[in-house]
């Protein structure tokens, strides 16, 4: 083959590649090729994520174990502080955040969400001997909440509507609950599953407000990076969750960890 013919062949090859367009990344294919999916969650968020006797347990783990079995890959569970999870996801330190993340309109613009895994509507907890009753009674009081959460934003907005609440932020719910038990807080705001789990476990110390919830209904879900490369993985996870819903596994897991079953949206809510 002459140099001219070689050059023409090379040019034709480049033209074909340019017409085909850039290769589209496919996170599902990458995960299946690796045989594993690397996760991030905060293992101090009962009843979803807990370390009991040195073993990771909780509703999140049971749900995700079922999903990964459907996908045919092994889950790699990592205990990451909540405030480092979404930033770490963005730079590719893990494939997915499975800590329950509240779906908000702002986050929908920035991330890819799965369908809901639980109700996340914010609720209020008080000491069992408190004379506070309804959510409006927290006006002028000191209320704890986990920093960087949607519950923090909802509490702040609700406090402003009441004319002022002293909001105190904590790294974890457990830290806030400890200060509530010690009398350093008047109340704690958390998602309904977190609140009911605490009160059920320690009824001698804590109680729910009546009604406990305030604000609009919200939901927890899992989070992937935005873009077309994550779409296939998100779709596969949603399909697995819907299959588990239809065959009763989600109901069984909810009843095990939450004590009751809540029917969830079958699509990602567009808040």
pLDDT tens, 94-129? 999 999 999 999 999 999 999 999 998 999 999 999
Residues of the chain with pLDDT > 90, as a percent, come to 78
Residues of the chain with pLDDT > 70, as a percent, come to 90
Q: Is 117 left (phi over 0), alpha (psi -120 to 50) or beta?
A: alpha
Residues 180 and 238 reside in one and the same domain: no
Is pLDDT larger for residue 227 or for residue 251? 251
Average model confidence (pLDDT) across the chain: 90
Q: Would 175 be classed as within a structural domain? A: yes
Q: Would 13 be classed as within a structural domain? A: no
Residues 228 and 109 reside in one and the same domain: yes
Domain limits for position 251 = 27-118+218-258
Q: Is the model's pLDDT at 142 over the cut of 80?
A: yes
Helix (H, G, I), strand (E, B) or coil at 261: coil
Q: Would 232 be classed as within a structural domain? A: yes
CATH number at residue 148: 3.40.190.10
Residues 136 and 54 reside in one and the same domain: no
Cα–chain center distance at 152: 15
What pTM did the predictor assign? 0.77
Q: What's the confidence (pLDDT) of residue 240?
A: 98
Q: How many CB atoms lie within 10 A of CB 255?
A: 11
Positive/negative CA dihedral, 15, 20, 22, 27: negative
Highest mean predicted confidence (pLDDT) among 179-183, 225-229, 256-260: 179-183
Cα–chain center distance at 90: 15
Helix (H, G, I), strand (E, B) or coil at 127: strand
Question: Residue 271: which pLDDT band, with cuts at 50, 70 and 90?
Answer: low
């Amino acid at each position: 083959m002459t140099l001219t013919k070689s050059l023409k062949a090379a040019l034709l090859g480049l033209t074909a590649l340019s017409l085909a367009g850039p290769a589209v990344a496919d996170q599902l294919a990458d995960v299946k090729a690796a045989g594993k999916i690397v996760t991030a969650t905060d293992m101090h968020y009962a009843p979803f994520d807990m370390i009991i006797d040195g073993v990771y347990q909780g509703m999140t783990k049971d749900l995700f174990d079922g999903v990964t079995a459907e996908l045919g890959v092994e889950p790699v569970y990592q205990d990451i502080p909540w405030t480092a999870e979404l930033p770490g996801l963005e730079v590719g330190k893990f494939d997915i955040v499975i800590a329950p993340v509240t779906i908000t309109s702002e986050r929908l613009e920035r991330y890819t969400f799965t369908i809901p895994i639980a109700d996340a509507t914010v609720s209020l907890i008080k000491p069992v001997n408190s004379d506070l009753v309804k959510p409006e009674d927290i006006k002028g009081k000191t209320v704890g909440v986990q920093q960087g959460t949607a519950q923090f934003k909802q509490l702040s907005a609700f406090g402003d509507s009441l004319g002022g609440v002293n909001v105190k932020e904590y790294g974890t719910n457990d830290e806030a609950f400890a200060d509530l038990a010690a009398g350093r807080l008047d109340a704690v705001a958390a998602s309904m599953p977190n609140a009911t789990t605490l009160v059920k476990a320690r009824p001698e110390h804590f109680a729910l407000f009546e009604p406990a919830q305030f604000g609009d209904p919200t939901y927890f879900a899992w989070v992937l990076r935005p873009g077309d490369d994550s779409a296939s993985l998100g779709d596969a996870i949603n399909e697995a969750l819907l299959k588990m819903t239809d065959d009763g596994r989600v109901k069984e897991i909810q009843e095990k960890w939450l004590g009751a079953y809540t029917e969830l949206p079958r699509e990602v809510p567009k808040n």
